[in-house]
Structure 1
């Protein structure tokens, strides 16, 4: 005779198994994915999305030397990132159907923008749009230039709820995000995609955030000249055999710390770029403070809270064209301007948040750069440009 406690244990195990088998990240197993079962997806996206042969988002290869990862409780899945891709490119996420995430983060620009301030439904953004490539590969888990989002998930819905950007703010005459949820709930392809991903068709803010974050984290770039050299080298300090003499010089200048005299004037060593943008991810150090840029786009006053930056990978396209302008104000048009900014740091009145690495001895650094050094560092930065991220269909617009 089976004892009641054993029966109870068996039932509990069955419930647990059922919960994980039908978790919110799986569709109903055994149901064939056909044009008949998902007619709106088929009609809207055609061959751009094939639910029977999803793009590979979850199991992309990355180099063994890439160790940073800010994914926490929302791992990338092929289904979730597919939904995230649709959401990322869908102008229905704005109140007047004119702006999508991709309006400010363009694939052709490493998911950045050439405009100093990107256009929204009620004006322009207050900061330059940050490139999104390799957003996953950083110790820094906070997002936006001023780190106001505690995670990428939180970040994804903030532009949607911004009055100027996408217009579901609940202020200044805007409807709130509940209106967006109702709007998307009535769109046929979202009814089908949410059911495909989550097991039911309910549209929620959490589900939107998770799917968008999965898609953004999937955008990666590790097919650059730098990666080809790093793969066959023992470390970053060694000369890369596939690099030119100029590129290797630029790499050493980027990696090595400068040697300063008592007046913060460089008398030897490198430029110290890796102090805040360490190889091989070239992501921002979470402890970094303001970099000396304190302006505000189209406004007076100062803004000293901007302490995050995108990865330095893909600051240029494969052909060397720069993905500028740069900085949160977009005030530096070229990489030469960027290096020039760090070459002479002037501590502006009111900037109490300047990173101390830029002001040794309490005095703004003077790197005393030569033209040879500037050109070498730019040549090195160009080696981090990938190819696939600019053209791969899985990160492209799914709408015909």
Structure 2
């Protein structure tokens, strides 16, 4: 009997010790704190429960993806979000990536040239960043000088006029920025939580910033609701008006030209360079006839990239000026440009699709066609990209 009591007592003690230790472990996990992150961001960032960047749904008809060897993770994209909005990444703590790429404007800028440090300005109009992950073109910047998004992300930081860590005229360089970030408490905590150490490197900045940018997606437009109801883009969308369907057909259908470059049949052929359903740019595209340089003479014929046409408009109004020079402020102006292409002297890089039979195309677009195309363009804009807090400023 005594032996049985001893066994029972031992078992009860074991259970008690297990439950006590389990409770202590649970309490330890529950009490895990990040004081610097809390002080900087309040409830906007929770390292114990990062926002969902990695498992966002996308339509099954979206098949392009330039993620490559840097798949999105919640932790690294969160660091990317902080870096994107942090003015500490500029030489004088006045400019962040988000200063030129504003969520309110689909991550573009309403200024033709965005402001940099010490009165500097960007050389080209700031490109919208929506759906950068789903671009068939993996190169970045208007002139595609960055082979990948990863390479692109730290170049503005090192640009003398933009964010200033250029190492020029006595200024600090990127290594100085990395040391600066290592000394900031919330980066110490974030990098430790995600990477296991506080080592801030250029490769990690590129990894995190590009993951955050690729996470910015927009698939809640009227177009997406309609595309889900049909087998392909050539069918009329049941949720579209007659004008929207007509505009879609004009957008997607290539034109037929006579020997003098005049359209005699077909549509406007916009989809030849901005193919549905991603509406990104064809990697083989050459320049589109806009060859100016902002506030300078001469020509620049090497700008061959563009952002996705998704969320170009919001409530019928362009989010930002268009083209690398910001020369157009309305879609009507853009259609007018493509409707009557003039081959400028020295432009040896004009896209062949714009010069049928070696002459500039003349689409002879009617007012009804213009209205229909604009109606269709409006269906490419959603709402969530402007309001989702996981893409918003964590410092607010």
| TM-score (structure 2 length as normaliser) | 0.92
Deviation at 1:280, TM superposition (A): 0.1
* 1:85 equivalent in alignment to 2:81: yes
Counterpart of 1:190 (choices 187, 190, 201) is 187
- Per residue, is there more helix in 1 or in 2? 2
* 1:148 equivalent in alignment to 2:149: no
What are the equivalent positions in structure 2 for 1:17-28 lying under 5 Å apart?
A: none
CA 1:35–1:338 in structure 2 vs 1: closer, same or farther (change >3 Å)? farther
Kindly indicate whether the alpha-carbon contact (under 8 Å) linking 1:57 and 1:76 is maintained by their aligned counterparts in 2.
yes
Distance 1:139 1:289 in 2: 15
Residue 166 of structure 1 corresponds to which residue in structure 2?
Answer: 163
Deviation at 1:173, TM superposition (A): 2.7
Kindly indicate whether the alpha-carbon contact (under 8 Å) linking 2:76 and 2:207 is maintained by their aligned counterparts in 1.
yes
Q: CA RMSD in A?
A: 1.4
Counterpart of 1:67 (choices 63, 67, 76) is 63
Residue 251 of structure 1 corresponds to which residue in structure 2?
Answer: 248
Aligned residues: 371
Residue 354 of structure 2 corresponds to which residue in structure 1?
Answer: 358
Deviations 1:269-297 (CA, angstroms, capped at 9, x unpaired):
00000000000000100000000000011
Distance 1:216 1:32 in 2: 34
What are the equivalent positions in structure 2 for 1:89-104 lying under 5 Å apart?
A: 89-104=85-100
* 1:263 equivalent in alignment to 2:292: no
Distance 1:172 1:368 in 2: 53
Residue 303 of structure 2 corresponds to which residue in structure 1?
Answer: 306
Which region of structure 1 is more displaced relative to structure 2, 172-181 or 287-296? Answer: 172-181
Other structure's SS at 2:143 match: coil
Residue 338 of structure 2 corresponds to which residue in structure 1?
Answer: 342
Residue 12 of structure 1 corresponds to which residue in structure 2?
Answer: none
Deviation at 1:321, TM superposition (A): 2.2
CA 1:286–1:33 in structure 2 vs 1: closer, same or farther (change >3 Å)? farther
* 1:139 equivalent in alignment to 2:112: no
Other structure's SS at 1:267 match: strand
Residue 130 of structure 1 corresponds to which residue in structure 2?
Answer: 127
Deviation at 1:324, TM superposition (A): 2.5
Distance 2:207 2:121 in 1: 26
* 1:377 equivalent in alignment to 2:373: yes
Residue 221 of structure 1 corresponds to which residue in structure 2?
Answer: 218
Deviation at 1:53, TM superposition (A): 2.1
Distance 2:169 2:206 in 1: 24
Counterpart of 2:286 (choices 285, 289, 313) is 289
Deviation at 1:37, TM superposition (A): 3.6
Kindly indicate whether the alpha-carbon contact (under 8 Å) linking 1:117 and 1:125 is maintained by their aligned counterparts in 2.
yes
Deviation at 1:31, TM superposition (A): 11
Deviation at 1:195, TM superposition (A): 0.8
Bigger Rg, which one: 2
* 1:237 equivalent in alignment to 2:234: yes
Distance 1:323 1:367 in 2: 26
Deviations 1:109-141 (CA, angstroms, capped at 9, x unpaired):
000000000000041100000000000001111
Deviations 1:77-111 (CA, angstroms, capped at 9, x unpaired):
00000000000000000000000000000001000
Deviation at 1:36, TM superposition (A): 5.5
Deviations 1:211-248 (CA, angstroms, capped at 9, x unpaired):
00000000000000000000001110100010000000
Other structure's SS at 2:313 match: coil
Kindly indicate whether the alpha-carbon contact (under 8 Å) linking 1:91 and 1:99 is maintained by their aligned counterparts in 2.
yes
Deviation at 1:52, TM superposition (A): 2.1
Counterpart of 1:388 (choices 359, 379, 384) is 384
Other structure's SS at 2:178 match: helix
Which region of structure 1 is more displaced relative to structure 2, 194-203 or 275-284? Answer: 194-203
Q: Any gaps of 5 or more consecutive residues in structure 1?
A: 1-29
Distance 1:267 1:77 in 2: 51
Deviation at 1:170, TM superposition (A): 1.1
Residue 204 of structure 2 corresponds to which residue in structure 1?
Answer: 207
Kindly indicate whether the alpha-carbon contact (under 8 Å) linking 2:256 and 2:263 is maintained by their aligned counterparts in 1.
yes
Distance 2:30 2:196 in 1: 16
